Structure 1
Amino acid sequence: MTTLVVCLDRTDDVGRKTGLRSPIVGWEAVRALVTDIGLADPEDSGVNSLLETLRVAQDLRDDDEKAVVAVVSGDRESMVSADRAVARQLDELIAEHEPESAVVVIDSAEDERLVPIVESRVRVDSVDRVVVRQARDIESTYYLLKQFLADEELRQTVLVPLGLTLLVFPMLAMRIGAAEGAAAITSVIGLFLLYKGFNIDEIMTGVAHQVRESLYSGQVSVVTYVVAAGLTFVGLFAGALGVSSLEDTPGIVVPVVQFAFDSVPWLTVAALTASVGRLLDEAISEEPIRSSFLNLPPVVLAVGLVVRGFSSYFLEQQGFVDPVVVPAIQWGDRALDSFLVTAGERLALYVVTAIVVSIVGARLAMYVSGRGEDAESTDRRGSESEVTDGGPVGVDSSTAPGTDAAPELDSGDRESDTDAEF
């Protein structure tokens, strides 16, 4: 019975540190590999994995079993190529030694992902996970604490909340009780962790910097953003009033739809105000207007129309909104009787209007951005032509400014000049 004792290395630490190519097979080869990796990186846990591989093979040989020691490594390019390299090397080992079972030695969760590849080719009797024990003495702990206390940001993030907790909790426990105090402290710590986890401090710093730059540069969007914020609050207040005016209704679907029905007009106007302000900033600047800023206002208006249409449809179906009645119209001898617009017709009108608004906005954005690109290309061609006409590019030396063009002499003139010289 032949047992394959294989040490798996998915990230190819063996090849990176020793320059050897796997698979490495044989007792002496693996024992020499232990020395090479130990000299290259004494702190690497792979040394312990290789020693564990040799120990398992020695125990099997002591039990009169034939053991084949091997080290299989992956590839450093990608995880897929690493797994395929391990599979290819295992196929070579199995074809050469024909083992009946295998013992897999690993030292990390990354290497453990290769175990199914081995199991698909040979029976795996055992998976030996190597865990390295580390001993930290008092001196090492002292230096770790000293390094921790030297980091100002880490000190403020950990020690300050811990100190505040130890100070506040006794006072809360005596004032309102231990359970309530612990709940309050836990809530504050949770908010602080969320604050640091989502980098809210950096976000607020960036927003403050953008606001300051906008104020100093005189951008129109600053005013429109303030107006949009006010309209947003008005919309939320209108939606809350609409929900509070409802009678007792089971569930939350009708209140949510009522809130959307009452707040969407204000929220749409707020978004339009903000987008128009940003568009005005782009128009005032010297650069051409980008199509994304041109597309935003019609898209916002179209979305607002669609949400308003669907919310009115659902509320009218439930009887919370009255149907639309178009009054009679009369001009001259002709008259149009009044008629009722049903919920489906109203929804269709909203949807069609939203589609028309989005299409017109897209075409207008393409037209405006196209004109801007044409003007920019025209200015570029004009500047290139000025450079070409005023510079030496493509200019004949005989006709260049400041150069006298000498007339061509015929043969008789050349002969007379030659005789005069002599």
Structure 2
Amino acid sequence: MVKTIVIYVDIDDDIGDLGFSTPIIGEEKCKLTLDKAAYFMPTDSDFNSMVVAFNIYTDLKRKGEDTEIVFISGSKKGGTESQLEFSKKLDKVIEELSPEYAVVVYDSPDDARAIPIIQSRLKISAVQQVIVEQYRGVEETYMLLAKYIRKAVTEKRYARVFLGVPGIILALAGILAALNLSVYIEPTILIILGVAMVIKGLKIDDLIESWWENSTIMVITATVSIISLLIGVINLYIQLQIVRGLSSIQEFAFIILQILPYASFSAIILFGGKAISKGLNRDIRVWHDIIKIINIVIIYFILFTVVKDIIDNTYILTFQSLYTLILASIVIISIYITLTALEKYGILEKLIKRI
């Protein structure tokens, strides 16, 4: 059992570029990694962080502390994937060494994301952030700038922002200019930049990536659902430019009538995706989503009839429509109550297993 481990954190797996896989445990293996890093990346802040971690380890060892050094990396994918990978590797280290305390060494803000993960498993006795300060002339500054530009272009997590967002802006600006809609270029740029900031700021891209790994079906259906809503909004805007002379209540009904098919399709495709996902996993709760889809279909036809009557100035539901509505509601409520009871007492699960 080791009392203290000195952890060098490499959340974006730069060590992988040297041909090593982590966790790297022990003085000899870490020294071998340092020697190779000194040759291939002597000016990189990661190398300096490794050196600092190794020096802390040797200093503790000299003082008679029961200590060990480990290098732990995450993943090139960045975001949640890196943290999950780091967490798995940390568990391996703890299982092998059974430490009580940790000294954490890191250099970048991304690496700092590993600190709460370590803290959830070990007592952190010290944290050291390595900041490399150097004086550079004009030529060295250009070399450093070129290095970061190359990193922004070649590394996936940076390329999404530094290439993806400007690429979308340039493409849309070109399309709008070709269509003689140059007046919309500036608002389009502001919208794209705003959306990109919201996505990165709220880590929506990490969330979508996590969804994609857990359920590809849900990501696809959610995308189709959002596209459907956007098309509905565009169609509504176009129709409102054409239609004139409606009263306030008729205009409100007209808005509902135009957006209703797209919103209904959006909800149906979303719950349909959940139902398919649950069905593939043999989850008996799939019937919840099926009932929701049926309800959406019924609500669609009811709302369609009502708003159509308002626009036509009739305001009257026929007796047949009302009878059909009441009958459908009774049937759905009865089915829902029956399935809920069967699920509660485990009968539904037994029936599905027999099928």
The higher radius of gyration belongs to 1
TM-score (norm 2): 0.45
**Higher share of residues assigned helix:** 2
TM-score (norm 1): 0.38
